[in-house]
Structure formats: structure tokens, C-alpha cells
Amino acid sequence: MTMQNLDSKIPAGPLAEKWSRHKAAIRVVSPANKRKLEIIVVGTGLGGASAAASLAELGYNVKAFCYQDSPRRAHSIAAQGGINAAKNYQNDNDSIYRLFYDTVKGGDYRAREANVYRLAEVSPNIIDQCVAQGVPFAREYGGLLDNRSFGGVLVSRTFYARGQTGQQLLLGAYQALNRQIAKGNVKMYTRHEMLDVVIIDGKARGIIARDMITGQIKRFGAHAVVVATGGYGNVFFLSTNAMGSNGSAAWQCYKKGAMFANPCFVQIHPTCIPVHGDQQSKLTLMSESLRNDGRVWVPKKIEDAQKLREGKIGPNDIAEEDRDFYLERRYPSYGNLVPRDVASRAAKERCDAGYGVNSEGKAVYLDFKYAIDRLGRNVIEERYGNLFQMYEKITDQDPYKVPMQIYPAIHYTMGGIWVDYNLMTTVPGLYSIGEANFSDHGANRLGASALMQGLADGYFILPYTIGDYLAGEIMTPKIDINAPEFVEAEKNVTQRIEKLFHIKGAKTVDYYHKKLGNIMWDFVGMSRNEEGLKQAIAKIRELRDEFWKNVKVPGELNNLNPELEKAGRLADFFDIGELIALDALDRNESCGGHFREESVTEDGEALRNDEKYTYVSVWEHQGEGKEPVLHKEPLIYENIKLSQRSYK
Amino acid sequence: MRTLNYHSGAINNGTMADKILKKLNIEVWRQNNAKSKGKFETYTIENISTGTSFLEMLDILNNDLIEKGIDPIAFDHDCREGICGTCSLYINGRPHGPDSAVTTCQLHMRKFKEGETITIEPWRAKAFPVIKDLVVNRSAFEQILQAGGFVSVNTGGVPDGNAILISHEDAEEAMDAASCIGCGACVAACKNSSAMLFVSAKVSHLAKLPQGRVEAKRRARNMVAKMDELGFGGCTNTQACEAECPKSISISNIARLNREYLAARFSE
């Protein structure tokens, strides 16, 4: 494939005018023609639901798909803390430029300037839209919208609905989607899982999906396909993702020619409930917003940490002067609100040095005593009540009385399908939005920016840019799902399912998934090095071979079969895990969530290497069992001067 | 601000104290598909930590079953942090089991005793037919919301977020109602299989806000009509729904729905 496919299509002109100029230049489809065009949207989280609703409002015929039993259950629902927008309602000198700058800096200078600026530019519209839909954002006593602070920034620009902001924003998008379903503009397919994308004459023309209740493999045609299926964090087995979250739709796109960007950029969130025992299936996030009022600490004395681990003393037995508020100590200007990657590494550093506080030695404290003393319990309850309840139910500890125990966990994937400025992949007519694409967060995402990006893509960007492509498709008749490409794709999907089903080996899908997760966490997790990454690649390949010989998928093909669904997703996770490791091996610098032990400053902070690595790593599939080819999209900074990030 | 009716005697010295449950009996509803007849089967499971979640216990049981060549138990679940509303188990005669204000996925094994027999059934309601084992079809909820559970605004062309003033109390009250996760526990708890708590939560959420006020009457009328059409029963005020709601949605929402509904009927 030529480098021409990697044209990012960033418009010319000054940064602040690029999006306006681009919108003026791109084509628009007439209402009469929109009625003749069909669009498939896969995934119904913030990106997918907002896109499906907005496209249907414009007059397109939309088919939307989700694996859940309702679009409302997509994992955006679990986002807690908030959504950023450059409203400057607090008069604290916020602006579109400042949000843009914070996001590029927070992403450790590995995101495109033009994309991020556009994200900041449309952010105020998102808040207006959500308010109009009836999203019950927190309000001040005077009736105005309230804001809170998040990590990596010095202003208050985060809008929130208790600790359930993702839930409320998704319900807003879901309501808009429901309205279009009722009008017949969206045909909704729940409990359907996309298993392949169909390409005809180089263009995306539909998908193959499995009806998860009947097992039937179905063909769906459209003039364009939008993949909004979230991230691939579950490759690590334990993560904050939902159990069903998977990378398979994105991976099928990759195998059909859509290139994959920056797979090694995975976010490890600093404030999750620690792993406990070996029967655990997932990790639970405690919102970053808690770092507004909670103080992070471990004991100063190693003997205190020892006693804590043995359960001989509790945290409240440790005197004030014996507590090490290590984030405040190391990063006085940002303190507890340093970005996620910095906070995660600092927690790991303390625990590795022997100061961890739970029996496994892998936890630090997040303490609300100081905030409760300052503000009163009622205020804390109003701000974080649901999170405190969640913590208590899981751990049987009351965080109003004892500090929370937290530890970093896999949370979000900045990497994803490569897209140009129009959010189109390297396959014409195939788009990717939200967490599924790579576009806006560089090497580290700032808190409260995932919701912003999902809704920016779905409400305000894709509905414009997809028109430019579809304007060239108005003469294309309804896609024929009996075309040979559909027949072939369906055959391949069926054969793969049957192959998995008939292995009838000895071990369960979860057995292999846990093993893969351990390899990923140990060698491709918070700290990476060349030797470990090479080992990981060899181990993943070995485990994948064993999986394809020895996995046991029970049940029936033509019935609801969760084990079969999991097996298909895990088969793709092996391949995704391998690509993450390959990408991490190539990038011998530390930036954002990607930490290479070979690249650190004298005082142990991450060291970026701009001379060698100021590019997007773009991987191209070469066929089963072949090494993928790495292309590099250079990142050009015309407005921001690159500097080593400092939060000190 | 509502009061959270949780708290169960948590350990407050900051140490974790998990025990091992050596043996449990799991009596579970097995039904191969919507058409087949279901029945209870009993399995035993050993060495479960009290810090393990209920669904993780089922994962472990399923792994045992698969290794023994028995079809694993199908159950709905996804986020496993109490917010997506997918999990839907009727445990020992209660939706979401013996803890209060939690979903099944937040229920932990510390709520069960050594040697106990735990009975697990799917939601039982005419409007929620069984798909397989413990998985039910809740698409009736989708249809109710499609009948009117939204504000009729398109993307774009809306006023500034601060142009609409909403009092702190109204926003909080709307948020209380909007916390509904659509799990269906209210229907499963109700002897009439009424969906009134679910419907009233959406009606209240939107009726409490000026943006939603405009269509409040039409919304109430259309959603109630759809609910009746889909075979949910009527409300006889037993309050079982509120008691079992994992999000503590208040039945005062039902009173508000009734007011909106009556107003809608009078204005016809």
C-alpha cells in the first residue's frame, strides 16, 4: 500500500480556521438523496448512539448494531467523572486554545494538532446539546451549570452528573436514538455482533453479523460503515472495561485493509480498586474526580507498610507526620491532580519500593478525611455518594471512615483504527469514531475527554464529513447482499466459528484469556523493555497456537452461546496483544502511557525522544501469519512548541 | 439529595478479612431456549472466597461445568460495576439477591453462609420471556422508551447550556429519577409485573426539567399506553419495586407519573 493512503487530509490555513474552512469546502448531500443512502453504525456507546441518531435526523437510513440487549448498556454508561468543554463558565481564563493545548500536552505530544483543536472547538456545543436533551448536569444554587477540576489541567472545565456522567450522557444519546427508531429512521439490531466488514471494489459496503440468540449469520449492506466499538483494553483480561468489551470489530477492519495506529498507547488508570485474590473477573474504577478531594499517600516508614500488609495496624493508626503524600511531594504544582500516566507510575514506584499497603503490597491510600474535615460529610456525599457506595459494596470498607485502597488498572486505549481528518479509515467508506479510533488523545488521554471525543465525533464531526464521501455515492443503488464479496465473507465467518467450535479441547476460554492477560500485564503493562517485549511476543504466539488446538467451546452453534462469543473475541485478542507488543518494541521512548525502561531521565521520569519518534505508528496487515508493515505518519507541530512535560 | 440506604456493618479498620466458603449448593433454572420447558438443576461448588462477587462465583461454576462436559449456565452481565443494568438474577426470592441497593454484579459472597443452598431464577414476567436459562428478553422496555422517553430535539440549533436555569434541587431530583438503569428488577419484584416504577422514573426525570416539560403530558400518555399494550400489570401500591430497586428509585415518581397522566387525559 502506498503512503498516499496515509494522507491525513488536514486542511490548510491557520489552526483556528481549519474546521470552518473544511466544512465550507466539503460536499453536502441533498435531502432527497439522503433518503436513498444507507449507513451502518456498529456500537451504540456515546460515539455510535450519537452518530446513529444524528445521521438519522439528517435523513439517512441507518442500521445500528450492538452486542448488548439494549443500546443503553454500552460501556460509555460506566464513565463516572465528567466531560470537558471550553465554556469558560468559571471565568478562570479557559478557552478553546487552552483545552487544545492541555489535551496535546496531556497526550505527551503524540496527537495531531488539527484534530485536537477541532475537538476543543466543538466541545461547548456538546454541553448545549446534552442540556437540551434533558441531561441532568449538576447545577449551582443560582441555577447555572457547575464544574469540577480534573487531572492535568489548572482550570475547572469538567461538567458532571454526580459520579454518573457517562450514564447520563449515554442516556441522552440513547433517547435521541430511540426517537429515531420510533420514527423508523434507524433500524436497531440488538444482540448482534459484527464479525466482518465487506469490501466491494475497494469500498466498505456492509457487514456480516451473528444474531446472538439464534446463531444465524446475516449480511447487511450499506453505502458506508461506521465502526464505533470502543477499545481493546480487555486484551489484559483484568481491566475496567465491561466483560463484553472487545476489539474484534476493529480487528476485522484491520484485516480487511484499515490500518491500525499506535496500538501500544494504552491508558492505565491510577485509581481503581486493587486486585484481590485470584477469583476476580474485572477491575472497578474509582473516578479521577475523587482526586479533587482525596489525598494520595503511603506510609513514610517501611515498617509501617509491613504492619499494614500483615493487618496488624490500620491506616488511621499512622500519624500525620508519618504519611508520605508522594504526589504532593513530587509534583507540588499539580499535586494529586497530575495526569493519569504520571499518577499510575508514581503509585507503582512506591509499591515496588515496598510501601504498598494491602496484603499483596499493591495498593496506596486515597484519603478523604481531610476533605470531610474541611467541607463536611454531606458535601462529599453529594459529590461522590454513588462511588463511595460502590467501593463499600465491593470491599466491605467504609471510605467515609478509612481511606480507600487504590491501584492502577488498564482502562482505555488511545490507540485504534487510523483515521484521517474526516474520521475515514484507509478503506474508503469505512469510518471509525470514539475510542475505536486513534485520533485525539496521543499517548495519554486526559480525564473527562473520552466522553467529549465520543460525542464530538458522533454529533458534530462525522455527520458533516461523511456527507463529503456519500455525495459521491448518490448514484450507487442499494447494496446487493448477494454479491460474491458478501457470500465469501459470510463463508469465512462461518468457517471460523465452526473451526473454534469443533476444536473440543480441554481448557476453557477464560483459562486462556487469563494467561494472555498475565503475559500482557507482566511484559506489556505499566513498564516495558526490549527483552520483556520480545519474550511477550514469543509467549503470545505460543499460547495462541495452544488455544487453537486445545480450547473447549461448549453449547450449540444455533443458540445463545456466550462461550462461543468469548472464544471469537479472545482469538482476536491474541493478535491484538501481539501487535501492541510489536508497536511497544518499535517505540523506544517513554511517552504518555507507554513507558520504556530504556528511556528515562536522571530522576526516573519518563523521557520522550522527539527526534526519533514524533510520528504516528501505523500498522498494515499483510495476511495471516505474516509480519505487519509499519508506516509512519509524521506529526507536525505548527502551533505548539514541544517540551518535556512537567507537572512539578 | 436522597439518602443512600446502604451500609451493612463494613469492617472499618482498613484491613480486608475474607473467608473461604467450603461448599455451596446452587439450585438454578435451566431452560435451553424460549420454547423449551425449564426446570431447576442443583450443582455444588467449593472453596469460594467471601470477597468474590456473585457473578464470579457463577464464572467459576461455569468453568467447572464446561470441564465436566455440561452446558454452562447462560446469564446476562456486562459492566460488573452496577451501572449498565444488564445483570438480572432472582436470587433466593429477591431480584438482585439478599443485599440492598445493589445489582447482582455488586453482590458479594460474604452475604451467604457456609453450606447454604442458593436458588437462582430469571426475572419472571409475561413481558420478559426467557431466552435461555437466566437470560430474558427485555425489549419491551425499549419499546416503552421509544414511545416517548425523550425530548424532541435534533442535533444542533439548541440554546447555550446556561440559558436554561435549573434550580439545584430540581436538577438533583431529576438526577435521582434518571439514575434508573433499566434492569427490570421492579417488574420482577412486583406481584403484578408492573413496570410503573421504570416508566415513572423516565417521566419524572424529564418532567422535572424545563427542557422536558414541554412534552410532559404527551410523553406520559404515550409511555403508559405502550406499557399497557405490552402486557405489564397494573400498580397496586405494594412498594415492592422501590424496596428491590438497586438504585433506590423512589415510588414518589409513580405519584408524579399519575399526575402527569391524569393531566394528559383531562387535556384530551
Determine how many CB atoms are found less than 10 A away from the CB of residue A3. 10
Furthest-apart CA atoms within chain A: distance in Å: 76
State which H helix or E strand residue B95 sits in.
strand B94-95
- Domain range for A375 is 269-410
**A70 lies in a domain?**
no
Helix (H, G, I), strand (E, B) or coil at A58: helix
Q: What pLDDT was estimated at residue A603? A: 83
Nearest alpha carbon to residue A45 among A466, A439, A433, A387: A433
Q: How many domains does chain A have?
A: 2
Nearest alpha carbon to residue B192 among B233, B237, B229: B233
Q: What pLDDT was estimated at residue B18? A: 84
Residues of chain A with pLDDT under 50: 1-4
Domain match, A406 and A488 both:
no
Q: Report the gap between the CA of A158 and the closest CA in chain B (Å).
A: 14
- CA A386 to CA A393: how far, in whole Å? 11
- Between A and B, how many residue pairs show a Cβ–Cβ distance under 8 A? 273
pLDDT of residue B178 exceeding 90, the answer is yes
pLDDT of residue B239 exceeding 60, the answer is yes
State which H helix or E strand residue A174 sits in.
helix A165-182
Identify the band that residue B15 occupies on the pLDDT scale cut at 50, 70 and 90: low
Question: In Å, what is the CA distance from A40 to each residue of A77, A428, A490, B235?
Answer: 22, 14, 17, 40
Q: What pLDDT was estimated at residue B247? A: 96
Residue from the list B107, B141, B161 with its beta carbon closest to the beta carbon of A131: B161
- CA A49 to CA A168: how far, in whole Å? 13
CB B232 within 8 A of CB B139: no
**A365 lies in a domain?**
yes
- CA A603 to CA A342: how far, in whole Å? 13
Q: Say whether B76 and A69 touch across the interface (CB within 8 A).
A: yes
Domains, chain B: 20-132 (3.10.20.30), 138-151+161-266 (1.10.1060.10)
Domain match, A406 and A276 both:
yes
Cβ contacts (< 8 Å) between A137 and chain B: which residues? 161, 171
Instruction: Note the pLDDT tens digit of each residue in B131-150.
Output: 999 999 999 999 999 999 99
Question: In Å, what is the CA distance from B145 to each residue of A134, A306, B222, B223, B240?
Answer: 14, 54, 9, 7, 22
**Between residues 81 and 140 of chain A, which touch chain B (CB distance below 8 Å)?**
87, 89, 125, 127-134, 136-140
- CA A194 to CA A430: how far, in whole Å? 14
Domain match, A376 and A491 both:
no
Q: What pLDDT was estimated at residue A196? A: 98
CATH of the domain at A345: 3.90.700.10
**A205 lies in a domain?**
no
**A529 lies in a domain?**
yes
Which of A367, A394, A455 is best to mutate for the B interface (most B CBs within 10 A)? A394
Give the chain A residue whose CA is nearest to the CA of B204. A134
CATH of the domain at A509: 1.20.58.100
Instruction: Note the pLDDT tens digit of each residue in B197-219.
Output: 999 999 999 999 999 999 999 99
Q: Say whether B175 and A167 touch across the interface (CB within 8 A).
A: no
pLDDT of residue B8 exceeding 60, the answer is no
Q: What pLDDT was estimated at residue B9? A: 42
Residue A179 annotated in active site: no
Q: Is A625 exposed, middle or buried (0-12, 13-18, 19+ CB in 10 A)?
A: exposed
The gap from C-alpha B139 to its chain's centroid, in whole angstroms, comes to 14
| pTM for this entry | 0.97
Q: What pLDDT was estimated at residue A5? A: 59
| ipTM of the prediction | 0.95
Of residues B102 and A4, more confidently modeled? B102
pLDDT of residue B256 exceeding 60, the answer is yes
- CA B252 to CA A567: how far, in whole Å? 45
